[in-house]
Amino acid sequence: MSIQFNKDTKIFHLQTKNTSYVFCVTDFNALEHLYYGKKIPFDNVKHISNRQIYSHVAHESREDRAFSASVQGFEIAAFNSGDIRTPSVVFDYDNKADACRLRYRSHTIYKGRKPLVGLPYSRADENTETLEVVLTDDENSVEFTLIYCVFADEDVIARSQILKNIGGGKLTVRKFASMCLDFYGMDFDVITLEGIYLYERAQVSRSPLNRGVFKNNSLTGTSSHNHNPFMALCAHNADEDIGETYGFNLVYSGNFADEVAVDQLGDTRVIMGFDDTGFSWTVGKGETLVAPEAIMTYSDQGLGGMSRNFHDHIRKHIIEQEFAFSPRPIVINSWEASYFTVTEEKVLSLASHALDCGIDTVVLDDGWFRANDRIGLGDWRTDKEAFPSGIKGLCDKVHAMGLKFGLWLEPEMVNAQSEYYKEHPDYVLSTSKLPLISRHQYLLDLTRDEVVQDIANRIKEELQGVELDYIKWDFNRYATEASSFVTAQGEVYHRQTLGVYKLLSMIKAEFPNVLFETCSGGGGRFDLGMLYYSPQIWTSDNTDPYARTYIQYGSSYAYPVSALSCHFTEGDCTSGRKSTFEFRYRVASFGSYGYELDLSKYSAEDKAAFKSYSELYRKDEDLNLSGDLYRLISPEKTDYCAYIAVSKDKKKAKLTFLELYASGFIESMALRLKGLDPEKLYKNEETGEVLHGATLMNVGIRIGDLYRKKRSDGYTVNFVEV
């Protein structure tokens, strides 16, 4: 049993393989948080409850001043409840503040989990257990169901909550976080993944926590290129291998906020969920509001341990199992090959070279219904001049060549210059007469069911009979004026995100078995919400392998490498910087591998090289799909980058070493490996040398010994058990 409730102490103890999460029902029926961290026995840990008494602290009881909402840890922290710290929930109920004190009423523990209606979430397996705790206010006007799903094997606990208006009054919700977690003390560093378009998640930002409120959020209507929903709190001494580390992420793709608030006592509160800026949600009588899921993990093995817990969880519980561990398509994508000048002829030319390069899927990117980015979105009419056989005809031709076929779509948008916008000017997400334009397009108002249905119908109609194998689902602008002609202002951002999920589900239902890859001007919507629908996401429009090294390394803190779509390209389109083929392959094979260049420009010798890369990728792909990643050298700290992927049974491993700038002393560098079995003997497939895992991990290898090839190529060394 992962979840236990002790009737005498009224303690809930949630246990995973290596962690414990403990809270209790207090004498005043509040839910007090007691502990989260390394696994402990089922002891009564109520002694840790905070009982500080000082002036200005408010108490529930006149007799016993020990318990105060101002200082206790909570599982849910309502504003106007006596807790004067940063709240996780703010609501008005007929303008009565005393409605905010929340009392335990009941709980249930069961195997498996229930779906979060309308939202993505961690999928249950046979080991999943769930605890639901119901609280209401004193007047029984508002009911909260706190949901805890325990994924014991991956050391992950998923939280969300549902709020219901059970009284007869008016309930307006102004903040509704998915989780609230209180820690004693503030001895943490906070880590987030920062970036921008063409540099998503590349800056791993780490700083000691200070008093006050730290906030990592997005107001773009999406999880954004700029701030990812992932966040970690770790001990100041935590590194890749040691040190207590807590990881958090949201299974959500809209406006989010991660808050870390250090209070007057120097205690820390973590809150994650919707961003409350402009948020105001009216919950009618008997209606509910569901908060997106937040996931959390703890590891005493530093950032590496945290990442591996998340990687396992995401692969087993977020990504559809049909795709999670299966070989991914090796695509040739038309975008960087011909941008908007793409034609049927050019796609067939790519296809004619594909098999020679070990490619199995041809993807027609943007340009099949338009010649530039000013037109076409919303109308979705195939450009018959460029594609005389239509998409179905082209798809059939590609299939006849023994290849799979994929198509690019951007269903959430409409171009300002389109018939669709002319017909439905009220279908966009701006009520202004002159809506702000971005990439010549507007966001469609997916808060409205009729718009979602209409777009789904139009896409289905256009693609009727096309036997697609792969869909690239793009999203190329932020929501900048989220106002709807129909939907209440304070509800627009979240309803829009719900609309995106609905539309994705509808189109996915139309194309079962099709692998979806999501995208947003590169990696502007790289989050767990999207990974629920698509096993891989286009990582960034920046395909310069040097820049990509930072982007991919940063992304790996939160996401498994198989979720990162990475292509071998000309390499210089964003930077003008030259790189060798080998280097480009090495970087792109970090994730789910493909190509994006004009194959017809390459010689037979080049194509033979591409084929050998595709074969190499396939040979080691299982390490990407199910292996453990150990980061060895961060590119942010040195001129190099190194990492090793190790199979779960520790029988094989692949080390990658990249030199980003020419450096004088690299030959004398010794590199200690990680993740191997100390007892096993491994053969270095480059040098033939056989050494124990213990030796490779403690003594290491000499980088200079690998220098028989070009340094600018980087190095890959496979180790296999002998």
Per CB under 6 A, residues contacting ligand GLA are 335, 365-366, 408, 474, 476, 519, 521-522, 538, 541
By three-state DSSP, how is residue 553 classified?
A: helix
CB of 410 to ligand GLA, least distance (A): 7
Distances (CA, A) of 413 to 440, 443, 473, 476: 10, 5, 11, 8
The answer to whether the CB of 563 falls within 8 A of the CB of 215 is no
CB nearer ligand GLA, residue 83 or residue 366: 366
> Which residue is catalytic, options 276, 379, 474, 544?
474
Closest C-alpha among 198, 185, 288 to residue 246:
185
Q: Determine the residue with CB nearest ligand GLA.
A: 366
Closest C-alpha among 336, 330, 337 to residue 355:
330
Q: How far is CA 205 from the centre of its chain?
A: 17
The first and second tokens of residue 66, run together, are: 């020990």
CB of 346 to ligand GLA, least distance (A): 15
The one-letter code for the residue type at 41 is P
Q: Count how many residues are written for the chain.
A: 722
The first and second tokens of residue 321, run together, are: 């199992």
CB nearer ligand GLA, residue 315 or residue 370: 370
CB nearer ligand GLA, residue 521 or residue 560: 521
Task: Quote the CA–CA distance of 158 and 131 in Å, as a whole number.
Answer: 10
Residue 639 is among the residues annotated as catalytic for this protein:
no
CB count within 10 Å of CB 434 equals 6
The one-letter code for the residue type at 715 is Y
CB of 417 to ligand GLA, least distance (A): 16
CB nearer ligand GLA, residue 314 or residue 409: 409
The answer to whether the CB of 80 falls within 8 A of the CB of 102 is no
Task: Quote the CA–CA distance of 644 and 655 in Å, as a whole number.
Answer: 4
CB of 457 to ligand GLA, least distance (A): 23
CB contact set of 612 (below 8 Å; sequence gap of 6+): 358
The answer to whether the CB of 673 falls within 8 A of the CB of 700 is yes
CB of 613 to ligand GLA, least distance (A): 20
CB nearer ligand GLA, residue 310 or residue 538: 538
CB of 365 to ligand GLA, least distance (A): 5
Residue 366 is among the residues annotated as catalytic for this protein:
no
Antiparallel, parallel or unpaired: β 142-151 and 129-137: antiparallel
Distances (CA, A) of 455 to 320, 452, 506, 522: 24, 5, 10, 23
CB of 535 to ligand GLA, least distance (A): 17
Antiparallel, parallel or unpaired: β 640-646 and 404-409: unpaired
Phi–psi pair at 292, nearest 5 degrees: -60, 165
Angle at 219 between CA 218 and CA 224, to 5 degrees: 45
CB of 523 to ligand GLA, least distance (A): 8
CB nearer ligand GLA, residue 32 or residue 541: 541
Q: Where are the beta strands (DSSP E) in 365-514?
A: 404-409, 413-415, 441-443, 470-473
CB nearer ligand GLA, residue 364 or residue 703: 364
> Which residue is catalytic, options 379, 541, 620, 628?
541
Burial tier of 134 (Cβ tally within 10 Å: 0-12, 13-18, 19+): middle
CB of 521 to ligand GLA, least distance (A): 4
CB nearer ligand GLA, residue 490 or residue 522: 522
CB nearer ligand GLA, residue 272 or residue 364: 364
Cite the active site residues: 474, 541
